[in-house]
Structures are given as structure tokens and as C-alpha cells.
């Protein structure tokens, strides 16, 4: 089993609130990712990181931000949640030399009302 954890699993929050989705992995992986997935749709990369102090935007524009202060931790923040942010957010990690083999957390299902 993969040692990558996301909290919370489910979140219902009002418009305008600031939220942080947590992601932690204990595998020592350098690369970490955030994907967004709507029901029945493909995953879209929104952020990734090569390692500590490295963050990059993915191919899907997102109003969220990320930070990578520690190898094991890659939180995603929305400063002001909107209903259009309602989606599932999946965190993943991989070893730098085996980047195609990613391990996913169980996801956070976010609903903004």
C-alpha cells in the first residue's frame, strides 16, 4: 500500500472561505503532484514539485497555490473558495528516477456552496 495521505477526505465549505488541503507522504519521494478530477472526467495536473522549495503550475489553470517546505508535505491552498472549485483533488508522489510510477492519496472531495 502507498504511504500517502490526504486530509480531509470530504469538505463542504461556504463561498469565500480560505481552505488548505493537506497531503503527506512517508516514502521519501522527491516529486509530488496535485491533480483535479471531476466525475467521469480525466485527471488534470494543476501543480507539481521537484523537491523542497520547488513548485510549478501544471497544464490546467488553477487559482490554488502550493508550498513545499518539507519533502513529505505538499499542501494546496485556496484563498477564497468558489462553487467552481467543487471537484476532487488528488495528491500523488513518485521517485525522481521512476516518475511514471505515481502513488496517489485517497483524494479530497471538495464542495463549495
Partner 1 sequence: RKEVEQDPGPFNVPEGATVAFNCTYSNSASQSFFWYRQDCRKEPKLLMSVYSSGNEDGRFTAQLNRASQYISLLIRDSKLSDSATYLCVWYSGGGADGLTFGKGTHLIIQP
Strand pairing report for 108-112 and 76-78: unpaired
Residue of 23, 66, 78, 90 interacting with partner 1 (CB under 8 A): 90
Residue of 16, 17, 77, 96 interacting with partner 1 (CB under 8 A): 96
CA gap 108, 28 in Å, rounded = 22
Q: Does 112 bind partner 1 (CB under 8 A)?
A: no
Give the max Cα distance, the chain. Answer: 41
Minimum distance of partner 1 from residue 35's CB (angstroms)? 7
Which residue, 38, 37, 69, is CA-closest to 54? Answer: 69
Considering only residues 5 through 64, tell me which ones interact with partner 1, judged by CB under 8 A. 31, 33, 35, 41-43, 45, 48, 50, 58-59
Minimum distance of partner 1 from residue 94's CB (angstroms)? 8
Residues that contact partner 1, how many (by CB under 8 A): 23
| Residue corresponding to grid cell 467521469 | 40
CA gap 97, 18 in Å, rounded = 35
Query: Quick one: cell of 95?
Result: 521517485
Q: Which residues bind partner 1 (CB under 8 A)?
A: 31, 33, 35, 41-43, 45, 48, 50, 58-59, 90, 92, 96, 99-107
Amino acid at each position: 500500500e502507498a504511504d500517502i495521505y490526504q486530509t480531509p477526505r470530504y469538505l463542504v465549505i461556504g463561498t469565500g472561505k480560505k481552505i488548505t488541503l493537506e497531503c503527506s507522504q512517508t516514502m521519501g519521494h522527491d516529486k509530488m503532484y496535485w491533480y483535479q478530477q471531476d466525475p467521469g472526467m480525466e485527471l488534470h495536473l494543476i501543480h507539481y514539485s521537484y523537491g523542497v522549495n520547488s513548485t510549478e503550475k501544471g497544464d490546467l489553470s488553477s487559482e490554488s497555490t502550493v508550498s513545499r517546505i518539507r519533502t513529505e508535505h505538499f499542501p494546496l491552498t485556496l484563498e477564497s473558495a468558489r462553487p467552481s472549485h467543487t471537484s476532487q483533488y488528488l495528491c500523488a508522489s513518485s521517485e525522481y528516477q521512476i516518475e511514471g510510477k505515481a502513488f496517489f492519496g485517497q483524494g479530497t472531495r471538495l464542495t463549495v456552496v
